[in-house]
């Protein structure tokens, strides 16, 4: 009596069969591609943190939907991870049985000689005998000549008294398996990078530096298995940033030079180098530092109503257009007797016309700053972090000018302005440039690269290797040669059948039949 399987076992068996089917693998691959689409449309925190903030400000309605669903971190979201893991399991479950079947097929000899070779798709018949052009043919029989020809074409041979079976093209299935295994390798490499890797960014002003500790990052995304206390020890100082733009009529304003002179200190010591957009810096431990963006950091000095310097230094402004019209906020919470804040616009090449103040070129040919002033009672510091690029005006009011209108100042580099009501003063001391560094470590990159390379190699084999079977039946003084292609796109089978027939009979082939030359008797 047969043992009846439990319903749970049957259900699990059915589910595993569905998961490991080729149809499911293709569906999961399609879903993975669909799930990645938002990552190319919606800015992602790990690569474009500033753009994410701008997107959230411009689209508050969409933000209430996208933020809970994890669309700003789509590649680490639960949905993407679920599809990713299911595809991983599906590929493994699909490949392992195929590997076993392929290994068994490779170890087996070619198939037996068919009883009716003449029923194959391509068949040619010839008469044995006649002189042969093959070296040493006088010492070989038809089967020997056929075997020698087949081996020269790299066929595997199965020889019997009735004739020869031959097959080649085993590398096609091997190529298919290598290609699918490479997909598993790619997924494994990406998983390794996502679990033990990290990516982050930091804005660094000229003359200042970055150290690879968690507190130095403006944003940081780490894999679940990464120990952030064991980051590679290195630092990068931005000595000078170079940016040049096209000044001609064609592509005016397009970037032509975008690099930075930096000093790197890591396990190999201290060295100076040049970073460009397409040539990332690789540290001694393998961390990659990319030069990703740049902008302007105007320098301000703010003196409060008590005559004390309450703020001094560069402030990072964010570009708003291709001509680098930039906005920024100067916060002076320590000013007394009232705290101060400034909303400012920096224009590298400022023009004031009927359109209002705006920049007409990205380089700083005529820099100007426009700013508004806010004041308020000193606030209690709560330790709650704030966005440095957004001014929270709760408890503050705009400073008015002598005419009772909102105070708005236009300042050139070196300009100084006293604030009304003895609130203090502000100076625009000049500007520096800032760069955004993207720092990342992806330990699975080498595995991914090797897997992709093997996948391309396997794909080449699967596309260009042609599985083919040839059969030779020797029946008295007659040779019947048949061929069978195992792919629909293969060509050249007629020529190979004709060549094998010519080698077997030692006679030329014409119109599908081997011909016996005149004045020659067929040899048995």
* Cα 163 from Cα 143, distance rounded (Å): 7
Q: Residue 22: which of 97, 79, 103 has the closest Cα? A: 97
Predicted confidence at residue 138, as pLDDT, reads 42
Alpha carbon distances (Å) from 135 to 153, 281, 293, 345, 510: 17, 63, 72, 90, 22
Predicted confidence at residue 300, as pLDDT, reads 97
pLDDT in tens, the chain (524 residues): 456 667 888 888 888 888 888 788 888 888 888 888 888 888 887 667 778 888 888 888 999 988 888 888 888 788 888 888 888 888 888 888 888 889 988 889 999 999 889 899 999 998 886 443 333 444 478 999 999 999 999 999 999 988 999 999 998 899 999 998 998 899 889 889 988 999 899 999 999 999 999 999 988 888 878 898 899 999 999 999 999 999 988 889 998 999 999 999 999 999 999 999 888 999 999 999 999 899 999 999 999 999 999 999 999 999 999 999 999 999 999 999 999 999 999 999 999 998 899 999 999 999 999 999 999 999 887 777 788 888 989 889 999 988 888 999 999 999 999 999 999 999 999 999 999 999 999 999 999 999 999 999 999 998 888 899 999 999 888 899 999 998 877 788 999 999 999 998 887 655 444 444 443 343 33
Q: 399-404 contacts: CB < 8 A, separation 24 or more? A: 399/372, 399/373, 399/374, 399/375, 399/423
Name the pairing type of β-strands 156-159 and 235-245.
unpaired
Q: Residue 294: which of 248, 335, 257 has the closest Cα? A: 257
* Cα 75 from Cα 89, distance rounded (Å): 18
* Cα 276 from Cα 388, distance rounded (Å): 27
237 near 209, Cβ under 8 Å?
yes
Predicted confidence at residue 5, as pLDDT, reads 67
Q: What 3-state class would DSSP assign to 438?
A: strand
Predicted confidence at residue 87, as pLDDT, reads 86
Predicted confidence at residue 77, as pLDDT, reads 81
Predicted confidence at residue 512, as pLDDT, reads 45
Q: What 3-state class would DSSP assign to 414?
A: coil
Predicted confidence at residue 386, as pLDDT, reads 80
Name the pairing type of β-strands 468-475 and 478-485.
antiparallel
**Could you tell me where the beta strands, DSSP code E, fall in 128-254?**
156-159, 163-168, 198-205, 209-211, 219-222, 235-245
Burial of 199: CB neighbours in 10 Å, binned 0-12, 13-18, 19+ = buried
Edge to edge, the sheet with strand 235-245 lists 209-211, 235-245, 255-266, 269-276
Q: Residue 126: which of 141, 138, 142, 112 has the closest Cα? A: 142
Q: What residues does each domain of the chain span?
A: 7-106, 113-169+466-514, 192-293+438-456, 295-379+389-435
* Cα 397 from Cα 192, distance rounded (Å): 52
Number of helices (H), then strands (E), belonging to the chain: the values are 9, 26
Q: Residue 328: which of 318, 339, 320 has the closest Cα? A: 318
256 near 245, Cβ under 8 Å?
yes
168 near 518, Cβ under 8 Å?
no
Q: Residue 149: which of 138, 137, 161 has the closest Cα? A: 137
Residue 466's CB: how many other CB atoms inside 10 A?
17
Predicted confidence at residue 129, as pLDDT, reads 65
Predicted confidence at residue 29, as pLDDT, reads 84
* Cα 95 from Cα 180, distance rounded (Å): 7
442 near 190, Cβ under 8 Å?
no
CATH 3.30.310, domain 113-169+466-514, yes or no:
yes
The sign of the dihedral angle between the CA atoms of 183, 188, 192, 195 is positive
* Cα 35 from Cα 75, distance rounded (Å): 8
3-state helix, strand, coil in the chain (%, to 5): 35, 35, 35
* Cα 65 from Cα 419, distance rounded (Å): 44
């Amino acid at each position: 009596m047969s043992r009846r399987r439990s319903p749970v076992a049957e259900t699990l068996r059915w589910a595993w069969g569905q998961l490991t089917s080729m149809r499911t693998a293709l569906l999961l691959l399609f879903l993975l591609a669909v799930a990645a689409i938002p990552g190319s449309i919606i800015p992602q925190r790990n690569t474009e943190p500033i753009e994410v903030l701008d997107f959230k400000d411009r689209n508050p309605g969409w933000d209430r939907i996208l933020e809970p669903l994890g669309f700003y971190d789509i590649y680490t979201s639960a949905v993407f991870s679920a599809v990713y893991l299911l595809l991983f399991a599906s590929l493994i479950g699909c490949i392992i049985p195929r590997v076993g079947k392929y290994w068994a097929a490779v170890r087996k000899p070619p198939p037996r000689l068919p009883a009716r070779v003449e029923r194959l798709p391509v068949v040619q018949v010839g008469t044995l005998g006649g002189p042969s052009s093959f070296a040493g043919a006088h010492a070989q029989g038809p089967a020997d000549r056929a075997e020698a020809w087949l081996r020269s074409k790299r066929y595997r041979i199965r020889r019997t008294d009735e004739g020869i079976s031959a097959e080649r093209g085993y590398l096609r299935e091997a190529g298919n398996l290598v290609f699918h295994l490479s997909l598993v390798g790619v997924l494994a490499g990406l998983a390794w990078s996502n679990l033990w890797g990290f990516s982050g960014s930091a804005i660094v002003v000229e003359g200042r530096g970055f150290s690879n500790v968690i507190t130095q990052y403006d944003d940081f995304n780490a894999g679940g298995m990464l120990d952030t206390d064991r980051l590679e020890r290195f630092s990068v100082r931005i000595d000078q940033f170079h940016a040049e733009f096209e000044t001609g009529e064609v592509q005016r304003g397009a970037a032509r030079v975008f690099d930075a002179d930096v000093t790197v200190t890591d396990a190999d010591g201290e060295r100076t180098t040049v970073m460009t957009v397409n040539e990332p810096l690789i540290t001694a431990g393998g961390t990659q530092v990319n030069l990703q963006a740049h902008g302007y950091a105007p320098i301000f000095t703010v003196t409060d109503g008590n005559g004390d310097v309450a703020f001094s230094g560069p402030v990072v402004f964010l570009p708003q257009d291709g001509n680098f019209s930039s906005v920024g906020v100067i916060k002076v919470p320590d000013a007394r007797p009232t705290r101060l804040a400034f909303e400012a616009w920096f224009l590298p090449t400022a023009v004031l016309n009927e359109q209002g103040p705006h920049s007409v070129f990205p380089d700083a040919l005529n820099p100007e700053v426009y700013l508004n002033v806010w004041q308020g009672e000193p606030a209690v510091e709560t330790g709650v972090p704030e966005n440095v690029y957004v001014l929270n005006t709760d408890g503050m009011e705009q400073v008015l000018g002598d005419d009772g209108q909102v105070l708005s100042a236009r300042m050139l580099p070196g300009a100084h302005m006293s604030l009304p009501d003895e609130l203090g003063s502000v100076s625009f001391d000049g500007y520096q440039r800032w760069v955004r560094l993207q720092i990342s470590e992806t330990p699975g990159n080498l595995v991914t690269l090797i897997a992709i390379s093997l996948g391309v190699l396997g794909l080449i084999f699967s596309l260009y290797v042609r599985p083919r079977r040839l059969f030779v039946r020797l029946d008295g003084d007659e040779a019947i040669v048949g061929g069978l292609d195992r792919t629909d796109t293969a060509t050249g089978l007629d020529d190979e059948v004709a060549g094998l027939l010519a080698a077997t009979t030692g006679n030329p082939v014409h119109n599908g039949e081997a011909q016996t030359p005149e004045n020659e008797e067929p040899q048995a």
